[in-house]
């Protein structure tokens, strides 16, 4: 079974950002050239800024190179191409517009009012295989209007973003290998450090936030030395925390072996780097679901593992999940049994007693908890025990037109509230609008100060001693503590994760050519 967060997809959406009067606006002088943005009310918006060289031709499956400088003023009025993704995914949110291997672009929303603002860098979801920074759901306007600079980032996806093969290792054995999407994100964060002051952003106050696959990479970035100093706060939305990653080599299955099998399926049994890079794009993205792995240089461990060895970045953290993560699929009784083993019967009985639901429904709640919600809380506990500030949440708000019969907030369902980007197919009532205002305010206050609280808002207590204290967001937003049976399930889920982490084979030294 694939790791939970690796399967994650974002919420369907078709609505474009609300229309606004747009005029040519200020320019920004970057380390590669000057860009001109667009005035949108109280903001200036810059779209389609290249943060790295196009990863095409001989640069396919290589670490990102510096962006190519330009002369004159480059228009930054439209989103850059989305990174290539397979045609088999048809949900409306994934219809991301033009696609190209030349896709390493980012977008910036900044307040026009003079000042220095906290920076929030969003890493989108989509199972590491779909999505783009320009999806309307991720429009940064509402967050930026609260007094922040918002950055959304494209990164390579699927087999273009995560690929290893012995020929590529032999080509550059001392280089950064395989996790090209994570390297793209690191390059984008480096761009922020060098350039964000030109957009009134504070390079010393950067928050990374991501949902689903993006939350998984937030956790990865918190555990890699390569990201040190590139961000100062982190938000993980529905990113689990118990996933175990394959190594690049060693053991029964590894990333290089997967790459060899794929190449052999195309008739390239003993492929050279040139032959791999000559594979047509359509063949690369076809059935191209791919995920991070431990490469020994950029990704050193599975996402949650550094929290358990006190090795994660000690930055303030918000982490949590939604009330119907089972909408993602895979959270079944069989999955819960596999995770919990002999502890499953007692925990199932406890969930029935706690919820009052029939056994089948209570078991789905248990599977959902041990797959997504409780591992996130466990990371919050560990982060707090390691001396860093942590805030946990549980999101349970559903648009008014969907509440009847809803099992809870679907995976990705918090995004429209955080960004304030209601899809056209949804209706909101005053409660929806109030939750959206609350969430956006919490997120931006956290980015500004490291503490989401303010006078007049429901108090969100920091995580301290167990059982986990968290903020329950929904019809009534208030602080809550885990029930004893959920606390036991949390401990069982993380014990299972730690067994998987320690069972992974040691990573051998890279072979020499």
pLDDT in tens, 428-450: 999 999 999 999 999 999 999 99
Examine residue 508 and state whether it is found in any structural domain, yes or no. Answer: no
pLDDT of residue 94: 57
Eight-state DSSP code of residue 503: H
Q: Do residues 299 and 276 share a domain?
A: no
Of 371, 359, 296, the closest CA to residue 330 belongs to 371
Mean pLDDT, residues 479-487: 96
Confidence at residue 18, expressed as pLDDT on a 0 to 100 scale: 40
Q: Is residue 135 located within the same domain as residue 48?
A: yes
Residue 210's beta-bridge partner residues? Answer: 123, 236
Residue 465 lies in a domain: yes
Q: Is 122's pLDDT higher than 80?
A: yes
> Residues 300, 269: one domain?
no
Q: What is the per-residue pLDDT for 425?
A: 86
Reduced 3-state DSSP string for 172-210:
CCCCCCCEHHHHHHHHHHHHHHHHHHHHCEEEEEEEEEE
| 151 and 262 together in one domain | no
Q: Which residues contact 143 (CB under 8 A, 6 or more apart)?
A: 109, 120, 150, 418, 419, 420, 440, 443, 444
CB 407 within 8 A of CB 326: yes
Q: What is residue 140's three-state secondary structure?
A: coil
Tell me the per-residue pLDDT of 334-381, one tens digit each, with 9 for 90 and over.
988 988 889 999 999 999 999 999 999 999 999 999 988 999 999 999
In a domain, 197, yes or no: yes
The answer to whether 325 is a known catalytic residue is yes
Task: Kindly indicate the confidence band of residue 14, based on its pLDDT and cuts at 50, 70 and 90.
Answer: very low
CA distance 486 to 133: 35
What pLDDT does 91 receive? 62
Give yes or no for residue 120 having a pLDDT over 70: yes
Mapped to the 3 state alphabet, what secondary structure does 296-340 carry? Answer: CCCCCCCCCHHHHCCCCCCCCEEEEEECEHHHHCCCCHHHHHHHH
For residue 375, which phi and psi values (nearest 5 degrees)? -60, -35
Match 């010393």 to its residue by tokens. Answer: 204
pLDDT class for 97, splitting at 50, 70, 90? Answer: confident
Mean pLDDT confidence for 266-289: 95
User: Do 166 and 260 reside in the same domain of the chain?
Assistant: no
232 annotated active-site: no
Given 101, 256, 325, 368, the catalytic residue = 325
**305 and 262, same structural domain?**
no
Q: Which of 379, 374, 385, 391 lies closest to 465 in space, CA to CA?
A: 385
Question: Could you tell me the pTM of the whole model?
Answer: 0.93
Residue 212 falls in the annotated catalytic set: yes
pLDDT, mean over the chain: 91
Question: pLDDT class for 12, splitting at 50, 70, 90?
Answer: very low
Q: In this structure, is residue 158 part of a structural domain?
A: yes
pLDDT band at 8 (very low <50, low <70, confident <90, very high): very low
Name the nearest CA neighbour of 94 among 157, 187, 178: 157
Q: 510 in a domain, yes or no? A: no
**Closest alpha carbon to 99 in 141, 133, 51:** 133
**Using 50, 70 and 90 to split pLDDT, how confident is the model at 7?**
very low
Using the predicted structure, report yes or no on whether residue 128 has a pLDDT greater than 50: yes
pLDDT tier for residue 89 given thresholds of 50, 70 and 90: low
Q: Which domain holds residue 272?
A: 255-282
Q: Does residue 424 register a pLDDT over 50?
A: yes
CATH number of domain containing 82: 3.40.50.1820
| Residues 18-71: tens digit of each pLDDT | 444 456 679 999 999 999 999 999 999 999 999 999 999 999 999 999 999 999
Higher pLDDT, 12 or 474: 474
**Is the peptide bond preceding residue 280 cis, with omega within 30 degrees of 0?**
no
Tally Cβ neighbours within 10 Å of residue 280.
9
Q: How many domains does the chain have?
A: 2
Same domain, 382 and 401: yes
- By the 8 A CB rule, do 201 and 175 touch? no
Let me know the angle formed at the C-alpha of 242 by 411 and 173, rounded to the nearest 5 degrees: 110
Helix axes 374-385, 484-503, angle to 10 degrees: 80
Single out the catalytic residue among 411, 414, 416, 436.
411
Q: Is the pLDDT of residue 332 over 90?
A: no
End-to-end CA distance of the chain: 34
Let me know if residue 382 belongs to a domain: yes
Residue 365 makes CB contacts below 8 A (sequence gap 6+) with: 351, 355, 357
Same domain, 87 and 163: yes
Catalytic residue among 101, 212, 256, 312, which?
A: 212
Helices (H), ranges, 90-179: 141-144, 158-161, 166-171
How far from chain centre, in Å, is Cα 351? 30
Q: Is residue 277 part of a domain?
A: yes
């Amino acid at each position: 079974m694939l790791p939970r967060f690796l399967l994650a997809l974002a919420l369907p959406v078709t609505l474009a950002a609300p229309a606004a009067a747009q005029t040519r606006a200020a320019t920004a002088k970057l380390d590669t050239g000057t860009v001109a943005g667009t005035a949108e009310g109280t903001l200036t918006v810059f779209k389609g800024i290249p943060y790295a060289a196009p990863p095409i031709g001989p640069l396919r499956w290589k670490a990102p190179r510096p962006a190519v400088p330009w002369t004159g003023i480059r228009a930054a009025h439209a989103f850059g191409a989305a990174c290539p993704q397979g045609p088999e995914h048809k949900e409306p949110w994934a219809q991301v517009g033009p696609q190209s291997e030349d896709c390493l672009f980012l977008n910036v929303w900044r307040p026009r009012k003079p000042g220095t603002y906290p920076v929030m860098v969003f890493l989108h979801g989509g199972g590491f295989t779909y999505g783009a920074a320009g999806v309307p759901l991720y429009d940064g306007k509402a967050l930026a209007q609260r007094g922040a600079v918002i950055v959304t980032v494209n990164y390579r996806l699927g087999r273009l973003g995560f690929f290893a093969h012995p020929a590529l290792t032999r080509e550059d054995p001392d280089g950064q290998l395989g996790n090209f999407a994570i390297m793209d994100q690191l390059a984008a964060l480096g761009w922020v450090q060098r350039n964000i002051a030109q957009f009134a952003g504070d390079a010393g106050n950067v928050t990374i936030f991501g949902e689903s696959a993006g939350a998984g990479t937030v956790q990865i970035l918190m555990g890699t030395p390569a990201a040190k100093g590139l961000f100062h706060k982190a938000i993980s939305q529905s990113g689990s925390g118990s996933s175990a990653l394959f190594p690049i080599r060693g053991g029964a299955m590894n990333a290089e072996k997967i790459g060899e099998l794929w190449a052999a399926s195309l008739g390239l049994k003993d492929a050279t780097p040139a032959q791999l890079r000559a594979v047509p794009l359509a063949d690369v993205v076809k059935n191209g679901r791919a995920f991070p792995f431990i490469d020994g240089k950029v990704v050193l461990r599975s996402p949650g593992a550094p929290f358990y060895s006190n090795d994660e970045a000690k930055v303030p953290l918000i982490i949590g999940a939604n009330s119907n993560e089972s909408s993602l699929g895979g959270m079944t009784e069989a999955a819960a049994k596999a995770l919990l083993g002999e502890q499953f019967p007692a925990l199932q009985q406890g969930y029935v007693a706690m919820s009052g639901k029939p056994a089948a429904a209570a078991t789905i709640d248990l599977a959902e908890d041990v797959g997504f919600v409780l591992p996130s809380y466990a990371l919050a506990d560990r982060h707090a025990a390691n001396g860093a500030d942590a805030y946990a949440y549980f999101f349970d708000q559903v648009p008014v037109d969907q509440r009847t019969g809803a099992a809870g907030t679907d995976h990705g369902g918090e995004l429209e509230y955080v960004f304030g980007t209601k899809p056209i197919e949804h209706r909101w009532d005053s409660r929806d609008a109030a939750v959206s205002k609350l969430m956006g305010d919490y997120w931006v206050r956290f980015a500004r100060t490291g503490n989401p609280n303010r006078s007049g808002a429901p108090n969100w207590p920091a995580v301290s001693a167990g059982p986990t204290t968290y903020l329950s967001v929904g019809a009534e937003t208030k602080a809550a503590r885990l029930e004893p049976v959920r606390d036991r399930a949390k401990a069982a889920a993380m014990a299972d994760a730690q067994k998987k982490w320690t069972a992974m084979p040691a990573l051998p030294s890279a072979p020499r050519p």
